[in-house]
Amino acid sequence: MSARWRRVGLLLLAGLATSGCLRPGFDRNAMLGAVVDTAILPAHRQLVEEAEQLDAAARQFASAPALEGLESLRAAWLSISLAWKGVEVYELPGTFLFHNAIEKRPARVAFIEETISQTDPAALDTLDVAFIESLGSTSKGLAAIEYLIFESAEAEAPVLDRFADPARRAFVTALTANLAAKTEELYRFWAPEGGDYAGTFRANGAEGADMRGSISLLANQMIQLVEMVMRTRLGVPMGAVDGVPRPGEVESYPSGASLALMAASLGSIQRTLDAGLDDYLDYLDRSPADRKLSSAIRARLETVLGTLAGVPAPLSRAVTESPAEVEAAFESMRPLLVLMKTDLAALLGITVTFSDNDGD
């Protein structure tokens, strides 16, 4: 090659470098490791701690049923449910059975009541962790516990009175013990000292185009969660499809905690971004600093959380009594879904692996 053409080649390379086409590589594995260390593992540890607190509250209440103990049990249930919403976005390969055992809705109410009513008072020890383990996912976990400890319009007696039945007390403590065991199993699946899926996750830093890569798997879960919150958890009870409100279809009807739980779910997306995923987005994003996709997602999340906070609780009543506020919250989620499902997917180069009807 002549000196002249060598100089041309060097000039072209310099131009490419200046324009940003040739940039230093981004350490995706390090980014995934940061997400694991600062978001995923802490969220799972908190879930274990909250499950232990719930189990302790259930045992205390069962030993001497009283209103104060019931209120403590309900508060512990809300705490672990909020912690769970910080974890559900991380339903990645190998975690499905754990997630189902922790929360699967709706609760199988008729079966739960039948089980309690048919338990021999002399054989309460049969209602143990092993028995709960044998049950289907809709007969245990957070949904089943919620049904038992909160008031129900269909119940013939107040919650506290119903817990005079020792079989009901034995059933709820077996449920909380099983839940504590499941959260521990899920944590150990992730933990370096256990199954170390955390190590697998951080080492699988393939580009988003690799559907089996951690970036693609995580982004798909984030997108799916936004769509589920918008279409299923808010859209279905408000009657988004046919204009007919369905108060009984709210995610957490007995406790009235649906709005708080939705906010916690969306908050998990923000924490995942803050843990390091936003740095990768900014690396890929050629937009000006004030127009980065990560900033747009963050701003839209704040808007959505603000409109959700403006909906009076409980959601089951708001869908009929405050439809304008519910509609505002729903509509605020549309741009977020576009940012996630279209812009985020395109920037990461991922394939969205679920349909619009998933979760409906």
**Does residue 357 lie in a domain region?**
no
Q: Is the pLDDT of residue 4 over 60?
A: no
Q: Which of 132, 160, 190 is where one domain is finished?
A: 190
CA-CA distance, 109 to 81, in Å (whole number)? 19
**Does residue 333 lie in a domain region?**
yes
Give yes or no for a contact between 144 and 175, defined as CB atoms under 8 angstroms apart: yes
> Are residues 175 and 263 located together in one domain of the fold?
no
Reported as a single tens digit per residue, the pLDDT across 160-170 is 999 999 999 99
Q: Is the pLDDT of residue 23 over 60?
A: no
**Does residue 214 lie in a domain region?**
yes
**Does residue 105 lie in a domain region?**
yes
Nearest to 351 by CA among 220, 263, 168, 236: 220
Residues 338, 81, 337: CA angle, nearest 5 degrees: 0
pLDDT of residue 267: 97
Q: Which of 132, 161, 190 is where one domain is finished?
A: 190
Q: Return the axis-axis angle of helices 293-309 and 323-338, rounded to nearest 10°.
A: 170
User: The tokens of 298 are what?
Assistant: 């963050």
**Does residue 156 lie in a domain region?**
yes
**Does residue 262 lie in a domain region?**
yes
Number of domains comprising the chain: 2
> Are residues 253 and 335 located together in one domain of the fold?
yes
Domain that holds residue 231: 205-348
CA-CA distance, 58 to 218, in Å (whole number)? 34
> Are residues 183 and 225 located together in one domain of the fold?
no
User: The tokens of 296 are what?
Assistant: 């747009």
Q: How confident is the model at residue 154 (pLDDT cuts 50, 70, 90)?
A: low
> Are residues 121 and 221 located together in one domain of the fold?
no
Q: What is the mean pLDDT of the chain?
A: 91
> Are residues 85 and 231 located together in one domain of the fold?
no
CATH number reported for the structural domain that contains residue 82 in this entry = 1.20.1420.20
Q: Which of 190, 223, 238 is where one domain is finished?
A: 190
Q: Is the pLDDT of residue 346 over 90?
A: yes
CA-CA distance, 222 to 220, in Å (whole number)? 5
Instruction: Say which residue, 11 or 123, is predicted with more confidence.
Output: 123
pTM of the predicted model as reported, rounded to 2 decimal places: 0.90
CA-CA distance, 203 to 64, in Å (whole number)? 50
> Are residues 216 and 316 located together in one domain of the fold?
yes
In percent, the amount of the chain with pLDDT more than 90 equals 87
pLDDT of residue 24: 60
Q: Is the pLDDT of residue 356 over 80?
A: no
Give yes or no for a contact between 334 and 300, defined as CB atoms under 8 angstroms apart: no
User: The tokens of 150 are what?
Assistant: 């909160």
Instruction: Say which residue, 5 or 114, is predicted with more confidence.
Output: 114
Q: How confident is the model at residue 151 (pLDDT cuts 50, 70, 90)?
A: confident
pLDDT of residue 208: 83
pLDDT of residue 153: 64
> Are residues 177 and 264 located together in one domain of the fold?
no
Instruction: Say which residue, 151 or 318, is predicted with more confidence.
Output: 318
> Are residues 34 and 181 located together in one domain of the fold?
yes
> Are residues 212 and 184 located together in one domain of the fold?
no
Q: Which residues contact 198 (CB under 8 A, 6 or more apart)?
A: 36, 40, 41, 190, 191, 192
User: The tokens of 62 are what?
Assistant: 């069962």
CA-CA distance, 135 to 144, in Å (whole number)? 11
Indicate the range of 119-123, 182-186, 332-336 predicted with least confidence: 119-123
**Does residue 17 lie in a domain region?**
no
Give yes or no for a contact between 285 and 292, defined as CB atoms under 8 angstroms apart: yes
pLDDT of residue 227: 98
CA-CA distance, 62 to 186, in Å (whole number)? 26
CA-CA distance, 352 to 356, in Å (whole number)? 10
